[in-house]
Amino acid sequence: MSELSRRPKVAVIGAGYWGRNLVRNFWQLGALKAVVDSNEAILDGVRQEYPGVTIVASLEEALKDPELKGVVIATPPRLHAEQTIMALKAGKDVLVEKPLALAFEDGRQMVALAEEKQAILMVDHILNRHPAVIRLKEIVHSGELGRICHVYSRRLNFGRIRREGKALWDLAPHDISLIMNLLGSLPVSVQCYGGSYFAPGVQDVADADLVFPMGIKAHISVSWLNPVKEQRLVLVGLDKMAVFEDSAPWSDKLVLYSYRLKWRGLEPEAEMAKPEKIELQPKEPLKEQCLAFLAAIETRIPPTDSHALEGLQVLGVLTALDRSLEESRPQIMKLDDPVSEFQTKKIEPGPGYSAHPTAVVDSDTVIGPGSRIWHFSHILQGSMIGPDCNIGQNVVIGPRVKVGRGCKIQNNVSIYEGVELEDDVFCGPSVVFTNVFNPRAFIRRMSEMRPTLIKAGASIGANATIVCGHVLGEYSFIAAGAVVTTDVLPYALMKGVPARRTGWVCRCGEKLGEELKCQICGLAYQKERQGIKPL
């Protein structure tokens, strides 16, 4: 028996504009069993192009087929909730086109039903399957771009003007999903503007502003009234910028731009380096999504980047943007919004965390499996603690603070909003983080918070103070009692008040000599213009 013949069988519901692409891919993968559509002309085309595929009159009839394991829904969004619920109740796994639904309450019901039935429910956010996006996510998480400051996305074209719906709901879900996937969080506030030019209530153009934790701002522009097709995402980091242009040839789809600022007297001057084109292996994102759905049917493990909860989060953001569009005012993504209860659910399997009875953990936090929280500590609303962290006594984290995997935070440390710890960060007892540079008791300055980022593997000694607005490089080492007032290079050893670099440390924490080779673990380093790096 061939691999194609062993694959689970699916039915595609709706073989129109986008559904025909799904029909083609599942046919090529040997998984297409049936097609449902109300348009006879479309069905005639399916009969001719895909001989042997069953043409079914209705979804109800298709669901009676015991050989059918999955249902792929590519009908208008107003039908998504009804048809998905029908398929889930029939015991079928479902891949539904974006958006998950048009009403958040319908989306909640769909997710809850999938959990009850232990069924796979995925949303077709195919950009997360794009080779350029997968590579871009690796680049962002490696820190190559530096701290992300700004993101903007433009999805513009001419045509397919709708008589119902909005450009926001039709075009923006891909970008919302993509940006949240790259930044690893939900926005904290959103605002949207739009215009209706051909049909009342049907916005042909929309512009959305999203604010994420750490002050990262994103802008999304969508329109089906643009003379030139444009599908572009730009990430601006402190070290490099990245441009993903999906309409470009494969050799030009993902390009990095290094830059720096030089000062001529009191005037800054930007200097851009030669663009760096990232080599990619061409693949069709939709086919990768179809393969992921078939794999999920067989393994019963849904992928995290298109799982139903991810689709519900996108739906929650769309709902807030739509509310902003209708009310002409910004919307705060409140942590007690219904979407938050799904944000806190962990998709990855693993043991739960443990907390001492005297510790307080707010209900809308995310605590990774294997983490331990000790006496009298408090994890405030919206904070996310990674797996396998050790939170000591009398520690305060939050609100809206992100702590990575495997961090150790010793007693009497407070980490307030604006501070982020990446993986494997060590904070000694009584380390002090600030988040406002010039506080006054009688002046409220929370809108002036300066973000602080502690990169992976960094260690901060007891009683050290980290003044806000700086980045501590990966595996840097801050001596006990030091006061950090500047950015810190990777692997730098910092001492004093104010702290100055007095040497370099190895990844294992041992101080390096002039030869830059660790006498303990044997790892060697080489000098660069702005520091050192492992060989």
Reported as a single tens digit per residue, the pLDDT across 266-314 is 676 777 778 999 999 999 999 999 999 999 999 988 777 678 888 999 9
Domain-embedded: residue 219: yes
For the segment 15-36, the average pLDDT, to the nearest whole number, is 94
Could you tell me if 21 and 163 lie in one domain?
A: no
Look at the block and give the residue holding tokens 């039935």: 117
Count of structural domains, the chain: 2
Domain-embedded: residue 153: yes
Tokens of 380: 């405030």
pLDDT attached to residue 427: 97
User: 90-94, 205-209, 305-309, 318-322: which range is least confident on average?
Assistant: 305-309
Q: Which of the listed residues 268, 302, 336 is the one where a domain comes to its end? A: 302
Strand 366-367: give its sheet, edge to edge.
Answer: 366-367, 384-385, 402-403, 419-421, 452-454, 471-472
User: Which contacts qualify for 414-417: CB closer than 8 Å, 24 or more apart?
Assistant: 417/446, 417/449
Q: What's the CATH code of the domain at 194?
A: 3.30.360.10
Domain-embedded: residue 291: yes
Distance CA 88, CA 71 (A): 9
Asked if residue 296 lies in contact with residue 307, where contact means CB atoms within 8 angstroms, the answer is no
95-153 pLDDT, tens digit each:
999 999 999 999 999 999 998 999 999 999 999 999 999 999 989 888 888 888 899 99
Average pLDDT over the chain reads 88
355-381 pLDDT, tens digit each:
888 888 887 788 888 899 999 999 998
Could you tell me if 171 and 213 lie in one domain?
A: yes
pLDDT attached to residue 347: 31
Q: Which of the listed residues 272, 302, 332 is the one where a domain comes to its end? A: 302
Closest Cα partner for 314 from 493, 409, 186?
186
Per-residue pLDDT at 239 exceeds 90: no
Domain-embedded: residue 475: no
Q: Cα 47 from chain centroid?
A: 40
User: For residue 179, with 0-12 CB atoms within 10 Å meaning exposed, 13-18 middle and 19 or more buried, which class applies?
Assistant: buried
Confidence of residue 162 (pLDDT cuts 50, 70, 90): low
Could you tell me if 92 and 229 lie in one domain?
A: no
Could you tell me if 140 and 262 lie in one domain?
A: yes
434-482 pLDDT, tens digit each:
988 888 888 887 778 889 999 999 999 999 999 999 999 999 999 999 9
pLDDT attached to residue 411: 93
Could you tell me if 191 and 258 lie in one domain?
A: yes
pLDDT attached to residue 160: 67
Could you tell me if 115 and 223 lie in one domain?
A: no
Could you tell me if 106 and 194 lie in one domain?
A: no
* β-bridge pairing 331-332 and 426-427: unpaired
Q: Which of the listed residues 273, 302, 331 is the one where a domain comes to its end? A: 302
Domain-embedded: residue 526: no
Domain-embedded: residue 321: no
pLDDT attached to residue 3: 56
Q: What's the CATH code of the domain at 50?
A: 3.40.50.720
Q: What is this structure's pTM?
A: 0.65
Taking the CA of residue 360 as centre, how many other CA atoms within 13 Å lie in the half-sphere pointing to its CB?
A: 11
Could you tell me if 184 and 248 lie in one domain?
A: yes
pLDDT attached to residue 94: 97
Contacts with 316 (C-beta within 8 Å, 6 or more apart), sequence order: 104, 107, 186, 333, 337, 338, 339
Could you tell me if 178 and 99 lie in one domain?
A: no
Could you tell me if 109 and 141 lie in one domain?
A: no
Domain that holds residue 99: 3-123+286-302
3-state secondary structure (DSSP) of residue 318: helix
Domain-embedded: residue 186: yes
User: For residue 523, with 0-12 CB atoms within 10 Å meaning exposed, 13-18 middle and 19 or more buried, which class applies?
Assistant: middle
Task: Fill in the amino acid letter for 387.
Answer: P
Give all strands (DSSP E) within 344-475, no chain letters: 354-355, 360-361, 366-367, 372-373, 378-379, 384-385, 390-391, 396-397, 402-403, 408-409, 414-415, 419-421, 426-427, 432-433, 452-454, 459-460, 465-466, 471-472
Could you tell me if 266 and 297 lie in one domain?
A: no
Contacts with 424 (C-beta within 8 Å, 6 or more apart), sequence order: 404, 405, 406, 407, 456, 457
Domain-embedded: residue 141: yes
Could you tell me if 36 and 74 lie in one domain?
A: yes
